[in-house]
Amino acid sequence: MTQAAISLENLTVAYNRHPAVHHVSGSLARGSLTAIAGPNGAGKSTLLRAIMGELKPAEGEIRRAVPSRDYGYLPQAADINRRFPVSVMDTVVTGAWKRAGAFGGIGRAERRKASEALVAVGLEGFEARPIGSLSAGQFQRTLFARLLLQDASVIILDEPFTAIDSRTTQDLIDIVLRWHGEGRTVVAVLHDHEQVRQHFPQTLLIARELIGWGPTEEVMTDQNLKRARALAERWDDNAPVCEVPA
């Protein structure tokens, strides 16, 4: 039996006692490549934030077989402040902080690895560019280079291909597939159902409550997608779905 990297047991995550993720159970196997899909407001990003430890469960439990220092996390681009005056290289080398420590300094070896990561994402020669001058696709490539430098065994991606061009999307999907081939556990929130079907063997389909979790061809059925849409249309944020402890 394949060992679980992350297990959820009856997980509920709430905002102001209104569940955003409602009684979800299941596990992510080590080395799996999983898409999290569902309608807008389905709790997809909330689920990722709970897995990363940024949100506490209102009910249930998250069990992590891999220590938190070995997680790489890419939040939504909208959550990242690009106005801070920092270069592409300085952004990428922050991926080495967990190894170097907050006061350990970044040496030549790490900067060499950062340069190699920039080559891998197609940004050779962009080292000195301020991140505020980059296009959306270039900035996302920069963040993927930072993940490459982190060398994490669990990689969590929140809408990694939103608002970027098709060439960048394909290049970054190739990196995700490479991570999977290396045996890393990769989880990504995605809106494009075709991307899910083409590239992600496993899918967690959610509409605040779990619709399906397993092989993509079994989960991403017309019946399940219709059920997810129907649940989304019935949401009422003014009334709790269930009792959540204060």
- Over range 178-187, report the average pLDDT: 98
CA 10 – CA 31 distance, rounded (Å): 23
pLDDT at 82: 80
Burial of 61 (0-12, 13-18, 19+ CB in 10 A): exposed
CA 180 – CA 184 distance, rounded (Å): 5
CA 183 – CA 220 distance, rounded (Å): 24
- Candidate from 19-33, 67-81, 136-150, 218-232 with smallest mean pLDDT: 67-81
Give the amino acid at 71: Y
CA 79 – CA 46 distance, rounded (Å): 13
- C-alpha distances in angstroms, 210 versus 9, 11, 38, 48? 12, 10, 10, 14
Three-state SS for 186?
Answer: strand
Three-state SS for 165?
Answer: coil
Per-residue model confidence as pLDDT tens digits over 65-112:
998 889 999 998 766 778 888 999 999 999 987 765 554 567 788 899
pLDDT at 78: 65
CA 73 – CA 71 distance, rounded (Å): 6
